[in-house]
């Protein structure tokens, strides 16, 4: 039996109901299995699991990229340009505060992309991006 490769990512949250509101209602992810201590989310075919951990995540700091302080650690998802802008509009409508507002990075270069950074209610940093040409994701 062949299984499509997918990522499994487990992250700490300090409030499961706030995670449900954010990942389910704000980001629009489908909820899968859950207990009183964790929830599975369908992150566009990838398994994201929010686990209750007292104190939540710890930030290591930031790294300078294209003139912006990118939060580290972070995780995210590559989207189509259309899906990226639809999500950005959805986040604005929900009054989500961006760490880095949606903008076009590296214009005119092979790695040209739209990107945005935000945090969930527990402080986990997320990046969503869309490449002008998806075949250029790993171009040097």
Q: What is the pLDDT of residues 72-109, one digit of tens each?
A: 999 999 999 999 999 999 999 999 999 999 999 999 99
DSSP class of 45: T
In sequence order, the β-bridge partners of residue 61 are 72
Please classify residue 84 by burial: count the beta carbons closer than 10 Å to its beta carbon, then call 0-12 exposed, 13-18 middle and 19+ buried: buried
Model pLDDT for residues 15-66, shown as the tens digit of each residue = 999 999 999 999 999 999 999 999 999 999 999 999 999 887 888 899 999 8
pLDDT computed for residue 135 by the predictor: 87
Q: pTM for this structure? A: 0.91
DSSP class of 136: G
**Helix runs in the chain, H state only:** 16-19, 81-93
Q: In this model, does residue 111 exceed pLDDT 70?
A: yes
pLDDT computed for residue 1 by the predictor: 58
pLDDT computed for residue 116 by the predictor: 98
pLDDT computed for residue 26 by the predictor: 97
List the structure tokens of 2.
């062949």
Residue 2 pLDDT level (bands cut at 50, 70, 90): low
Residue 3 pLDDT level (bands cut at 50, 70, 90): low
Query: What phi and psi, each to the nearest 5 degrees, are found at residue 82?
Result: -60, -45
- Domains, the chain, in order of start with CATH, read 8-52 (3.30.720.120), 61-136 (3.10.180.10)
Closest listed residue to residue 87, CA positions, set 50, 130, 39:
130
120 CB-side CA count, 13 A:
29
Rounded Cα gap, residues 94 and 97, in angstroms: 9
b (16+ CB within 10 A) / e for 16-35: beebbebbeebbebeeeeee
């Amino acid at each position: 039996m062949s299984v499509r490769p997918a990522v499994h990512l487990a992250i700490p949250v300090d409030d499961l109901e706030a995670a449900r509101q954010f990942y389910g209602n704000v980001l629009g992810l489908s909820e899968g299995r859950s207990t009183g201590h964790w929830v599975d989310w369908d992150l566009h075919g990838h398994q994201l699991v929010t686990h209750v951990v007292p104190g939540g995540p710890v930030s290591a700091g930031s790294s300078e990229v294209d003139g912006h302080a990118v939060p580290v650690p972070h995780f995210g998802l590559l989207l189509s340009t259309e899906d990226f802008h639809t999500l950005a509009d959805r986040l604005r409508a929900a009054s989500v505060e961006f760490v880095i507002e949606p903008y076009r990075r590296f214009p005119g270069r092979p790695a040209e992309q739209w990107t945005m950074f935000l945090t969930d209610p527990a402080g986990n940093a997320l990046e969503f991006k869309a490449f002008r040409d998806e075949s250029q994701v790993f171009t040097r």
